[in-house]
A and B are shown apart, each in its own frame.
Chain A
Amino acid sequence: MKAANKQQILLGNEAIARGLIEAGLHFMTAYPGTPSSEILPAVVRFGAELKQPPYCEWSVNEKAALETALAAAYTGKRAACAMKQVGLNVALDPVMSAAYIGVVGGFIIISADDPGPHSSQTEQDSRLLAHFAKLPVFDPDSPAQARDLIAPAFALSEKYQIPVMLRPTLRVCHARQDITLGKPLLLKRPANFQRDPFRWAAIPKMRLALHHKLNGKLAAIAQDVAADPALNIWHRQPLARKAPLGILSSGVAAALARDVLAELGLDVEDGPLPFLQTAVPYPLPLAPIQRLLASCSRVLVLEETEPVLELLSPQRERLWGRHSGHVPSAGELTPDALYEVLERALKEAKVKTPRPRGRLLTVPDQAPPRRPNLCAGCAHRAAFFAMRRVFPRGIYPGDIGCYTLGLNQGAVDTCHDMGASVTFAAALSRVYQLDGQAQPVVATIGDSTFFHSGTTGLINAVHNGARFVLLILDNQTTSMTGMQPTPETGLTADGHPGHRVDLLELVKGCGVGQIEQADPYDLPGFFKVLRRAKRHVAKPEGGVAVVIARHACVAKDRGLAIPRQIPVEVLAAARPAPPVFSPQVAACADCGRCVAICPVGALKRTGKGRVKVDKKKCLSCRLCAAVCPTGTMVLEPAGGCTACGLCGAWFACPGLARSADGHVSIDRSWCVDCGLCPHVCQQGAIVAQETPTPASQPA
């Protein structure tokens, strides 16, 4: 389909992709991560307009992605690599050397930042890492500017044989804007790797020479950038008289500040404030910034998230920004944050605001924002419930993906970085073991995250004799970021032929002694699998046990995830009653299972083969009676909802609504008839519906 010259509303990530295709991209790699994930699929889509579309791959992690694209650029091809900002940390090793050694074909590293943060572990500023690695960095303010910066970025990269970074923030990536499409460019560039071991395999002595050369390149690039009016945008040129305040800015903050100034009645183009936006914060274009400084008494620096322009600029004592306390040092520069910053700066500089912001509508009864949750029918929810039941006193290191939302079920105790569930589990079980205690530890990690960073930690754990259960939540896709295929599917980003990598075989190859694959939708069966894993970990010759919880993602394919719809209903409430410890009914085995599983700690062992029930604490959830192997703990199922709260605390399904008094009903706008909750309720209150109402239709 020919799309050139057509106006389209593009997502920022699509605009970046369009820029790449209009600049002759040959080779692209990426690992998905919010807010960068939509770039690569859009490159595939736009690339189809070319006779010879670029090669595109989802790599298994950012380091693999970066090295793969980098080596393509060694041969003269135009290459790019996209990731989220914390992915850049994973890729930092090759990035550092890439600046020294350089490239032949243009190479753009796209690292998408997340000030806020909205969907990340940190608010880190990739521009600082670009500075650290000595790479030029482009900082777009909008989808349109991001598209327009790609061609100059490739040109600069090739002129100086240096990789460059494009650093969009979430408000660029996930903004949409009307953009006039340009023509896709097919660049004829046959692969041409010029053997040069003194460069491509440089020894440390040569690296020093390369470092000197790199410094020379950066100085020349700073000159080039300073001389390019397209990269240094004067929204308001310096005035004849010295202005009390000027603005130096880059990225989305520059765009939003212009809108806020306009709303305050200060016309940006004809107003009293000189305003310079630089599209390349590093290497710093010195001349225009010196011109701005000479024309203003004070300069307010607006940038996200760290003070990069501020640190690199001369005359720092005349800057207002993070060091002077005028700009907050954490959080996104939203329009509201900018209102506060600008109102204060304008007041201190004695610049009048013709239209100050009026009174805001404040409403008293605001509830806290709703927390995200796993989808109704998600198999992870079932796996987490089973884990809590079988390991009620476990420590649960978690990982990064949808399943971090196991937090809602009390099933995630730590979440750090990609793959840390595995290493944390090894360490946590080890320290208790060193103290002579057997502390159960169950780590959870998704399939894509396991391929990304799980194997290294697992090999380390097996080799060093760690003892824990690793639950791999395998839904055969990368759900959180938009269903990108994993190596297990054998599918590739652009449809080039690939091969399946078998997860079970991979785990086996890591040396794990106990591996089982099971479907968490079969909850009773899944309990048994987890119990076998538990026994393996405790055995003298035991070690790491891996359970692969395999079930299709309900958000990706509801039909596959829920092959048989089981509409359920909640039976009317019965009176709650605490369980009764009845040694006269059966002999207590003093196993402690009931005490361990009680969600509120209402049970206590007396040490004399008896268990005491604290009736004040007891919720009457019946878990103790359900796990009692001898029948000493007696509580007949109430046959109706007793508002015990177990399903809310351990299952947390959006389809189970709770009234103010704690009673549960089915919320049909969320329920997908997965039929799992009857296995959760111990009172027999949630049952398959006798006369099903029509199932809710997907929108």
Chain B
Amino acid sequence: MKAASNKNLRWQAVVAGVGGQGVLFVTRMLALGAQAAGGRVLISEVHGMAQRGGSVISHLKIGDFAGPLVAMGQADLLLSLDPGEAVRNLGFLRPGGAAVVNAPGPEFLSPEARTAVAAHQVRLVCLDAAGLARAAGAAKGVNLALLAGAAASGVLPFGAAQLKQVVLGASPASRQQVNQRLWQAGNEAV
């Protein structure tokens, strides 16, 4: 699968999680994927204090944008490594956007929240990335398993194979095997 023309591509995403979970890594992989597909890239990252276990989000804008932040109600995708952080950041999603969340099921949302999400026509993809990562023998690889799941569920503006290539290209030799396993686990779980 290959994105046909990216001249008019305008795509915005928010990646959420807790400091130390690898939010920045996921965002950079998405950016490299977009760049490989010919898109212009703007990212906003969080460094410093919040990286010590606090709530962390990064913004990614692909296409003809000038500023690096996503406005509430404009994101095409929310990718969250933590269910609590997903709840906090759902407001970024545009009507009809997609949320890919590290959670075994939609139970992290209250019944009212689930109704609101459905009314906003959000496509909710829940993936137990933590469980998959543990099973793959790399408990801290939640981010990669979830990214693979997002790619497999077709919510990205470029193909899963393309992104996999980018991820493995950015992985050091010592992590190749583990990251292969994590990718496969996330990819097959969707």
Contact = CB atoms under 8 A, between A and B. Distances in A.
Interface of A: 7, 9, 11, 34-35, 37-38, 118-119, 141-142, 171, 174-178, 252, 254-260, 263, 334-336, 338-339, 357-367, 369-375, 402, 404-405, 480-482, 654, 668-670, 696-699
B65 A259 contact: yes
Given A35-B48, A176-B45, A178-B41, A171 B68 contact: yes
A369 B88 contact: yes
B12 to A, nearest CB: 9
B1 interface: no
Interface in B73-114: 73-74, 84-85, 87-88, 90-91, 93-95, 109-110, 112-113
Nearest to A371: B54
Kindly name the residue among A37, A177, A480 whose own CB sees the greatest number of chain B CB atoms within 10 A: A177
Given A367-B84, A372-B49, A359 B95 contact: yes
Contacts of B31: 9, 176
Nearest to A38: B47
B50 interface: yes
Given A142-B66, A360-B72, A405 B52 contact: yes
A363 B87 contact: yes
A248 B190 CA distance: 48
B67 A119 contact: no
Contact of B67 (A38, A259, A362): A259
Interface residues of B, number: 59
B122 A361 contact: yes
B115 to A, nearest CB: 10
Kindly name the residue among A141, A256, A669 whose own CB sees the greatest number of chain B CB atoms within 10 A: A669
A59 to B, nearest CB: 20
Given A175-B68, A363-B91, A363-B116, A696 B54 contact: no
Contact of B42 (A176, A334, A366): A176
B46 interface: yes
A339 B91 CA distance: 15
A358 B95 contact: yes
A3 B85 CA distance: 38
A485 to B, nearest CB: 18
A669 B54 contact: no
A366 B47 contact: no
Contacts of A359: 73, 95, 120
B184 interface: no
B7 to A, nearest CB: 15
Contacts of B32: 9
A480 B49 contact: yes
10 tightest A-B contacts by CB? Answer: A372-B54, A335-B71, A256-B67, A34-B48, A699-B140, A119-B48, A255-B67, A176-B43, A255-B66, A175-B68
A178 B137 CA distance: 35
11 contacts: A175-B42, A176-B28, A178-B40, A263-B71, A335-B71, A336-B71, A372-B49, A372-B54, A375-B52, A405-B52, A699-B141
Nearest to A33: B48
A697 B71 contact: no
Contacts of B44: 171, 174-176
B49 A119 contact: yes
A257 B88 CA distance: 25
B149 interface: no
Contacts, number: 186
Contacts of A252: 67-68
Contacts of A357: 71, 73
A260 B68 contact: no
Contact of A696 (B61, B87, B90, B140): B140
B41 A698 contact: no
Given A257-B67, A335-B72, A372-B50, 16 more contacts: A11-B45, A34-B48, A174-B44, A177-B42, A178-B41, A255-B66, A256-B67, A336-B71, A357-B73, A361-B91, A362-B91, A363-B91, A369-B54, A482-B47, A654-B53, A670-B20
B54 A370 contact: yes
Contacts of B120: 359, 361
B70 interface: yes
Contacts of A9: 28, 31-32, 35, 41, 43
Contacts of A256: 66-67, 69
A334 B44 CA distance: 12
A668 B139 contact: yes
Contacts of A176: 28, 31, 41-45, 68
Nearest to B144: A699
B169 to A, nearest CB: 14
A9 B43 CA distance: 9
A402 B84 contact: no
Given A9-B28, A372-B54, A118 B49 contact: yes
Contacts of B139: 668-669, 696-697
Contacts of A374: 52
B117 interface: yes
Nearest to A699: B140
B65 A363 contact: no
Nearest to B61: A259
Contacts of B28: 9, 176
B157 interface: no
A697 B117 contact: no
A370 B67 contact: no
B162 interface: no
Interface string B29-42: 00110010000111
Contacts of B61: 259
B75 to A, nearest CB: 10
B51 interface: yes
A654 B20 CA distance: 11
A174 B68 CA distance: 9
Contact of B72 (A336, A370, A375, A654): A336
A335 B69 contact: yes
Kindly name the residue among B20, B93, B110, B130 whose own CB sees the greatest number of chain A CB atoms within 10 A: B20
Contact of A363 (B45, B53, B69, B109): B109
Contacts of A404: 49
Contact of A373 (B54, B68, B85, B110): B54
